[in-house]
Amino acid sequence: MKSFYPAKFYPEPLRRIRYHDAKTQKSFVFLTNNFRLPSLTIPQLYKCRWQVELFFKWIKQHLRIKKFYGDSPNAVKTQIWIAVSVYVLVAIVKKELQLDTSLYTLLQILSLTLFEKMPVQQAFEASDYISENNMLCNQLNLFTS
């Protein structure tokens, strides 16, 4: 590719690889600056990279990691493994107690009742938290006369 705009934004030579996926019947075009790897390896690397992207998307959606407390690889891996372990443990509790509530809701309930001393089964019973008029049982209403 020798034109003004590509040379302006990326001055090094690029390799263009066209790949047709037989499963999905889709064609893809990849640009790379790697001239050493075989042509088929480049689409495989992108496919693996996409799996990594999907994994981190799942982490953002399902695990409650707002920020990493360390920036070393060991700190990040430890925090991710702890969050995955908690997620799996809650899934096991859900199955053992035969709860119909979603894992997301169970994690929310646990995060709210983390330091309360009560049986686990009681934490997941909705009747303990919500009264007939859909308010928290132990909450006062400031706007009633």
Q: What is the mean pLDDT of residues 83-97?
A: 90
Whether the CB-CB separation of 29 and 42 falls below 8 Å is answered with no
- Of 74-83, 100-109, 129-138, which range is least confident? 129-138
Percentage, residues of the chain above pLDDT 70: 79
For residue range 31-78, what is the model confidence (pLDDT) as tens digits? 999 999 999 999 999 989 989 899 888 888 888 788 888 989 999 899
Whether the CB-CB separation of 74 and 54 falls below 8 Å is answered with no
Local confidence band at 11 (pLDDT 50, 70, 90 cut-offs): confident
The residue to which tokens 């990493």 are assigned: 68
For residue range 108-130, what is the model confidence (pLDDT) as tens digits? 888 877 777 777 777 777 544 44
Whether the pLDDT of residue 2 is over 70: the answer is: no
Average predicted confidence (pLDDT) for the chain: 81
